[in-house]
Amino acid sequence: MKKAFFYKKLKDNTVKCSLCQWECVIKEGARGICRTRENIKGELYSLVYGNPTGFQVDPIEKKPFYHFNPGSWVYSFGTLGCNFKCEYCCNWIFSQETPEKEDIKVTPKEVVTSAIAARCQGIAYTYNEPTIFLEYAYDIMKLAKKQGLFNVMVTNGSITKSALEKVHAFLDAVVIDFKGFNKEFNEKYVHAPLEFTKNGVKYYSKYKHIHKEVTNLVVPNLNDNLDDIRALVKFVKKWLGKDTPMHFIRFFPMYKMKNIAQTPKKTLLACYEIAKEEGMEYVYIGNIDTDKNHTYCPKCNELLIQRRGLLFSKSYLKDKSCPKCGYKINIVGKIHDEAARTPHYIA
């Protein structure tokens, strides 16, 4: 437990949390929507600081980051709790639990030491929404940067502007995860406003040093309207640019939505084509075997990076440019050819 960074004291021992866009007003003895922040005698505390659910060594492509340090490995972790309640969450066992269900104590220094021992190039804050354990993530990020590791987050974009101002200097890349681009879908199945994610895109857009990629899980007959997909693409292009990698992800039945069929391949291909029509340079389809998982030159369509599922396979780039036409490709960081062939392990 640690005193929270982001809150304001109100009268009668009530506090207002300013970490995420819910900005919960929390009475003494109560918790916010995320269930991880409690008002104790008029002070707000994080209940998940130093209390991760466990660690996993992942290829960075699994997050998915396709244009940030390709072929690298990240030390991934999250905590219990979340400020969204997605009815199809693949990590619901963790995200929809309360902090009392886990009692693992790991200091920020121990996280960084273990990441280095596992021969990872970076740390990924993921699995549940990293915003809700930002105090913990922030302390880890500062130590990680000193040791030459990069920091990446997979987020629903719900962070407040003020919280992002505090952590941005230590954050290298984010995947911003849309839950579709339909207001009603978000309210009914995500139990959070679409505007939270849209606001997050706008906030992150101001920090040019942070590499950004966007995902969108496509749920059949619920958020797969192609007009909504086109509107999403136009929004991303306007705020983040045409060279922002976009990933359309196949839905699989799980959690409270086991009665929904997996996304048809033709729907994902339609999303892909819309994004390309709107001028997006790097578009991918996830959770499905397809050549739309590779990177091609936006100018001449030359194959530039091959992947096998969620694993980096081979790069044909020359100084991050197309070897055929010389077009500069939006790749941030180092291409880790050697690291991609090296086995990794949990320390």
List, for residues 303-340, the tens digit of each pLDDT value: 999 999 888 999 999 999 999 999 999 999 999 986 55
Q: Which residues of the chain have pLDDT under 50?
A: 347
Q: What is the pLDDT of residue 250?
A: 96
3-state SS, residue 297? coil
Phi, psi for 309 (deg, rounded to 5): 60, -120
Q: How far is CA 3 from CA 15, 149, 161, 268, in A?
A: 13, 26, 20, 44
Domain ranges of the chain: 2-46, 55-340
Residue whose C-alpha is closest to residue 245's, from 204, 294, 202 = 294
| Helix H or strand E encompassing 195 | helix 194-205
3-state SS, residue 237? helix
- Domain boundaries 55-340, CATH class: alpha beta
pTM score, two decimals? 0.95
The edge-to-edge listing of strands for the beta sheet with 7-9 is: 7-9, 15-17, 25-26
Q: What is the pLDDT of residue 310?
A: 84
Alpha-carbon distance of 76 to 8, in angstroms, equals 31
Cβ–Cβ under 8 Å, residues 21 and 33: no
Alpha-carbon distance of 254 to 95, in angstroms, equals 14
Rounded to 10 degrees, the C-alpha dihedral 179/181/185/186 comes to: 50
Q: Beta strands of 267-346 (E only): which ranges? A: 283-286, 295-296, 303-308, 311-315
Q: What is the pLDDT of residue 63?
A: 96
Based on C-alpha coordinates, what's the Rg of the chain?
20
3-state SS, residue 77? strand
Cβ–Cβ under 8 Å, residues 228 and 183: no
